[in-house]
Structure 1
């Protein structure tokens, strides 16, 4: 029995993983593993995987099947950043971002940075900042942590640094955002838009 690895864009949460696994099972594939942005299915050596059928079903659920290697790399970078921003382990929150991404993707950071910028029109650093700000918004809406705790949890050097970056991106201070909550949060796959 052979395996086929699929790379899937916009698959950024546990619910997404569950939907993809269900879709692939409904199509008759034995799902071996589903992770953020990827799935692995068992394939019979005598039959071909119907990629068009998979692409269509994924598209109906808001996902995109990625064929191109460079696009797959960019998606891996995005998933590494999302995992880093949502990490609950202190060690992961305070790592060198370029080293973390290079290790997670398995390629040189400078290459990944150039590739990411050329395809996405935004640097990896800017994408990370935008993801962090979305996470700050989420934590502010939950109203369970102080701004100091949020700053620490997301690896900011100080509350002032977090507040400055938040205002630069949203136009609001974190406390004003918390009061009005009018700034709508974006889905993780739409952060750069």
Structure 2
């Protein structure tokens, strides 16, 4: 909504708006693009006009949707095939481009997204570690725990304990 408001203030008409991407009817003049860039940055967004950067953002959006989706069938797909299919590009090209621009592999980015999802689920404290491992399609709880520790430096149970220590019960507030 914020992006739509900025576009309207600039007299631009969006054709399609999706997570991380907006298509507008108008061609932007240089001064118009600069003004739009500045206004978007004021509200915490950025204008991407570099083709490589646009593709990176599209890759990230596909991965975030894949990992954070509630659709179990979507999460079970082969990541590389799914990304290539969604972006209609060769996965080798996408992988090379992502590594070149981001400095990490797509696989590492996927792992980081999965660990963020694990953290979120641990914070909610509604699922056991076994259920979380199953939901995110880890082969075992041990695999999830090893990957979690490698990324965060903490075991999932230690992470959960830290969260509990930071919270106070209502009668202690």
Do the structures match in fold with TM over 0.5? Answer: yes
Q: Report the counterpart of residue 87 of structure 2 in structure 1.
A: 105
Q: Report the counterpart of residue 128 of structure 1 in structure 2.
A: 110
Query: What is the distance in 1 between the residues matched to 2:68 and 2:21?
Result: 18
Q: Report the counterpart of residue 160 of structure 1 in structure 2.
A: 142
Out of 83, 88, 105, the position equivalent to 2:65 is 83
What is the aligned length?
Answer: 163
Richer in strand (by share):
1
Q: Report the counterpart of residue 21 of structure 1 in structure 2.
A: 4
- When the two structures are superposed, what TM-score results if normalisation uses the length of structure 1? 0.79
Secondary structure at 1:128's aligned position in 2?
Answer: helix
Secondary structure at 2:23's aligned position in 1?
Answer: strand
Out of 98, 119, 124, the position equivalent to 1:142 is 124
State the 1:139 CA deviation: 1.1
Question: Unaligned stretches of 5+ in structure 2?
Answer: 165-173
Deviation track 1:151-183 (CA, whole Å, cap 9, x = no partner) reads 12212112111111001111111111011029x
Deviation track 1:25-45 (CA, whole Å, cap 9, x = no partner) reads 2222223321011112233x8
Q: Which runs of 4+ in 1 moved over 4 A?
A: none
CA RMSD of aligned residues (A): 1.8
The structure with more radius of gyration: 2
Query: What is the distance in 2 between the residues matched to 1:25 and 1:86?
Result: 31
State the 1:117 CA deviation: 0.6
Question: Unaligned stretches of 5+ in structure 1?
Answer: 1-17, 183-193
Larger RCO (CA under 8 A, 6+ residues apart): 1
